[in-house]
Chains A and B, each alone.
Chain A
Amino acid sequence: MSVLVDKNTRLLVQGLGTAGRFHTDRAIAYGTNVVAGVHPGKGGTHLRFEGETDHSGVPGRPDQYEVDVPMFETVRDAVEATGANASVIYVPPFGAADAILEANDAGLDLIVCITEGIPVQDMVVVKRAMQGSPSRLVGPNCPGVITPHECKIGIMPGYIHQGGRIGVVSRSGTLTYEAVKQLTDVGLGQTTAVGIGGDPVNGTNFVDVLKVFAEDDATEGVIMIGEIGGTAEEDAAAWMAEHLKKPVAGFIAGTTAPPGKRMGHAGAIVSGGKGTAEAKISALTSAGVVMAQTPSDMGAAMLEAMKRAGLS
């Protein structure tokens, strides 16, 4: 079992520039079922991906792959022709918000936006437009979503993942990889790893992902990686204390970060003094989360949380 993506996911890629093509190739090498591409001016053509299979991905495939991905002018055309049910967006920042809106309009179940640097006000509009939408947005400015050995959507290196027992949710891309690798190294593995992205306004938040992990039978424990700023971690702590019965480990980055570097002081007022690493660590600890002291201790913290729950 897994959440959000699995071997039945039919992926559409929006934006096949240099980065989009590179990571689409990596995804196909991993075994992800990429069924369509959308790129302006490329409709009606095919894009060929070929190379050596990444055997850390979907098992039982030949050593070489050769895939021709059909290209479309619009997301709606691509969905009608191929039955795609998820999209990943590599469109540059100025067009990325529109790409999300187009994917939302086409009714995809899952929209994963990798793009970094989207203007905040664009995301304010996107979030408003997606209110009540059945589509789920993950990101932007995130590494993506992966279910080991089934489906890789995004820019994470595939080989560090190992199918297993832990759900991973993180605001930071590279720290997600740290957590994943340590879970693999300690033998716990992952059910699904979700990077929700570090932007101030995003789609799926910690609580949304915790809810799906809570309902997933295969996910025995959860690791959550946050960072300073905002109150998403505090909200997650409050929700977990009430609703989540599974063991949770956590880490918060930014204990030593200099305060107030990013935003003027009026921003801090909104969150009423929340948002510091100390506040987040204390909220999570109170909710029963086993906190890793350094980012190198995340795997150990998860083992400890599992042990306390009698699941080791």
Chain B
Amino acid sequence: MKIHEYQAKRLMAARGIAVPEGRVATTADEAVAAVRPLIEAAGTPVIVVKSQIHAGGRGKGRFKEHPDLAGVTVVTSGLKGGPEATEADVRSLAERMLGSTLETIQTGPEGKIVNRLYVEQGIAIARELYLSVVLDRESGRNLMMASTEGGTEIEEVAAETPEKILRETIDPAVGLADYQARRMGLGLGLTGDALKNGIRFMKALASFASEMDTDLIEINPLVVTEAGEVMALDGKMGFDDNSLYRHADVAELRDETEEDPAELEAKAFGLSFIKLDGSIGCLVNGAGLAMATMDTIKQVGGEPANFLDVGGGATTENVTAAFKIITRDPNVRGIFVNIFGGIMKCDTIANGVVEAVKQVGLEVPLVVRLEGTNVELGKRIIDESGLNVMSATDMKDGAQKIVEATR
């Protein structure tokens, strides 16, 4: 699960990790009201207005409705004109940004609607760095990565100057050790107070990652201020969905307007669903088999309309929901149900399919391939339902049948 920058910063601040002062706004009035308290607290009249969407590249992104307006804009008019000038500029920015569509390198051409702004104090930046914590599958541990190339996408650094990426693997029994944080700080060229603050920042961030179950934290840029402070100027965070049961405070940060409605509905039924562009709907158990089913459909000349793994613990209701989600896609011209029962029983799938067709009807060809636990029972349920179903002997046979039926 991803969260917004302002939410990530609140979580970090609550754990003593340095971030700039800021306030969230959903209206222009709220944005303006944030200005004076921020100027007072920070002692600088510079204010930054930041669009809050679940995608990076906001600073370089532009609004479709306002092609010259960046997703993150610095307001410096207060340096000469005082707080009134800042307020006027913030109002004008907020009015244009809120409700408009921001297109960045990560949103795709359709862009994302901005519903929230984060109004933040300006920071006197001395250096911009990069810091992240991700899971390293090879060691089975969290890995902290840092580089001196703050503000640049990490892929770019990895491709062009991989030697500039510093790495420290975190032992879960120890956390990020002092010597590791120090080694990294020195590698980043930090000295004096900045080194001390950097070490504190890195250790706190490493603890945050393991205690809060993040699957990604990316601070880009991590800044060193002219006063030698080290703080997160940006914050991108994703959380392990499987851990949300023990982080109620994080779970409630979910912004459903940022997610695909069909994927969201699927999740509510315990289904793993990803919408694709093809015409053949797939209902499969197991992620590997679901991927292999897509691969096979493509190999026999079709295009999958979705990835859908009903998982191991699905009930008839879950399967019915899955079937409904697939049939709702107007691009779907045929459906392939491919089940190899293990923990999932074939009769559960069969009942779900029959129930769904009863509820929503069936206007496209349907191919069902059942194998595994309770297969005979499952086949009998399908046969006795009177549904117009083609049965398949194996995966390739099923893929060929559904591709032919939709030609």
Contact = CB atoms under 8 A, between A and B. Distances in A.
A-B complex is real: yes
Given A174-B286, A177-B372, A258-B276, A120 B238 contact: no
B140 A123 contact: yes
Contacts of A93: 242
Given A120-B213, A295-B295, A143 B154 contact: no
Contacts of A174: 284-286, 288-289, 340, 342
B279 interface: no
A173 B288 contact: yes
Nearest to A144: B342
Interface stretch (A66-74, A209-217, A224-232, A241-249): A224-232
Contacts of B154: 265-266, 269
Interface residues of B, number: 65
Prevailing SS type, chain B contact patch: mixed
Contact of B298 (A124, A127, A172, A256): A256
A250 to B, nearest CB: 13
Contact of A156 (B142, B162, B342, B397): B342
Given A119-B242, A156-B342, A266-B216, A172 B289 contact: yes
Interface string B236-265: 101010110110000000000000000000
Given A120-B135, A268-B155, A256 B288 contact: no
Interface stretch (B118-126, B184-192, B306-314): B306-314
B134 A270 contact: yes
A294 B371 CA distance: 18
Given A124-B142, A155-B342, A178 B137 contact: no
Contact of A175 (B135, B289, B299): B289
Contacts of B313: 19, 116
A222 B144 CA distance: 37
Contact of B371 (A171, A177, A267): A177
B299 A198 contact: no
Ordered nearest first, which 10 A-B pairs have the shortest CB separation? A172-B288, A174-B286, A296-B396, A174-B289, A119-B243, A295-B292, A253-B291, A155-B343, A264-B216, A175-B288
14 contacts: A124-B140, A157-B342, A230-B137, A253-B295, A261-B274, A263-B134, A266-B134, A270-B135, A270-B138, A272-B162, A294-B295, A294-B395, A294-B396, A297-B396
